[in-house]
Amino acid sequence: MPNPKFRHSKARTRRVRAEWKKRIDHSTTILDCDNCGESVLSHHVCQSCGFYDGKKVVDIKSKDE
């Protein structure tokens, strides 16, 4: 496996790390459920109504039961 011939500068290393952090945007992973309007993580079943992609996939039991 090849190794770097010369050491990367601190500026170059930090620039790469800053770009990596910039690409991770957690604000887009939280969406509103289309059925009930609750906050839901993207690509997850809604915990309050049990819908995913407009379809009922999980039966949610209420706390009364």
Domain that holds residue 37: 29-65
CB-count exposure of residue 49 (10 Å: 0-12, 13-18, 19+): middle
What is the domain count for the chain? 1
Amino acid 45: pLDDT? 93
| pTM of structure | 0.53
Q: Is residue 10 part of a domain?
A: no
Amino acid 50: pLDDT? 92
Q: Is residue 5 part of a domain?
A: no
Q: Is residue 7 part of a domain?
A: no
46, 37 Cβ separation under 8 angstroms: no
Q: Where are the alpha helices (DSSP H) in 1-65?
A: 10-23
Q: Is residue 62 part of a domain?
A: yes
Q: Kindly give the confidence (pLDDT) of every residue in the chain, 65 residues in length, as a single tens digit, with 9 standing for 90 and above.
A: 788 899 999 999 888 888 766 666 666 688 899 999 999 988 899 999 999 998 999 998 876 65
Q: Is residue 39 part of a domain?
A: yes
